[in-house]
Structure 1
Amino acid sequence: MKTFIEPRFTSEIFARRILDVPPDATIVDWAEKMVVAGFQSESLYVLLGELPPFNKPEIDDLLARVQVELNLPEIRSREQALEIVATAHARRLVQSEGESARTLRALSQLYADEGQAECLLQFYLLYYAKEDLGTEKQQHYWPSAHRGNINDVIHDYCQKWLAEHPFEEWREYEWSGSAEGLPR
């Protein structure tokens, strides 16, 4: 049985590196998508051959070389990296019009792991609002959210987030059209 690998955006791959997230199979999947999309880099080709277990220093070195070879933008701060990761999750959620629980759980966990990063607070609150509404008739995390509209509230907030966090400088380096048609 083949394991599903959630595709990562280029900006997200580099943001996760800044956040010191250990490399996983999504790095190789991303490199393959980049090459198929026409990006050319010796280090991307090397990444294609990587197998688990991944050596973090080696992967970090390869990603640093990819960044130079493709002239990718630099992430200037840890907060910007968090915003990029949140933007990637919001894009996937808006695209799929579904799996908000997994997206919000991931961002809620990142909020906690990063010492309650202010930029992720609203995702944290939405996660717990949705959780409570799964078992209760009301919640106290998000004003006006209830069982009948929680998915719309989440979708609308993600749309708003995407409009406020466009990261235009990364647009030309994303591997697919999956980011097209979404507010940036």
Structure 2
Amino acid sequence: MSNWQYIVLLGAVVVVFGLLLPRRKQPAAAQVVNNMEVSLEQFMENMEQDNRELTALIVQSQEEARTKAQRSEARLADLERKYSALEQLLEQQKNSAVSMPTAWVQPVKAAAAVPHVPAVLIDEPEELEEPAPPAKQTIQQRYPDLFEFHQQGKSIEAIAKKLNMNKGEVQLILQLAKQEEGARV
């Protein structure tokens, strides 16, 4: 065979191989597209399932909130009813205390009828004592940590950080303490 026949034969083989090669790649590209479509469909199904679960959770939360609100409203109505009954008992006790001698008046035993009644409502109003006024404290007694840090030479910023206060608040307390000392002298 001559050279030109080898060249023609070689060219024919290259052409045939060239025609076959793109056909191989087309099914691979179609496979990639198909895989992407399947993946996207699966992703969409997962998203829909997650959305359904989230919606069910929201509905459940709303139901729980409604139930809790209804229980709270019922409890509030019950407490209001008990409060009005106690007010009536107290008013009756006051009225009976005015018309009868004080030796005949017995304390109201409302605690047996209504649980958790404060002791103030059980005793007679005449027996109630006024609370003693609180002892007057100085600024330094109310904020001992602040003045301890100040005496140690800490800065206002450091004192404010340690005590979780504002700088202005620390400055105000220190100024009030100075005024208080000036008033005592």
Q: Same fold (TM over 0.5)?
A: no
Greater Rg, structure 1 or structure 2? 2
Q: Larger % of helix: which? A: 2
TM, length-normalised to structure 1: 0.20
TM, length-normalised to structure 2: 0.20
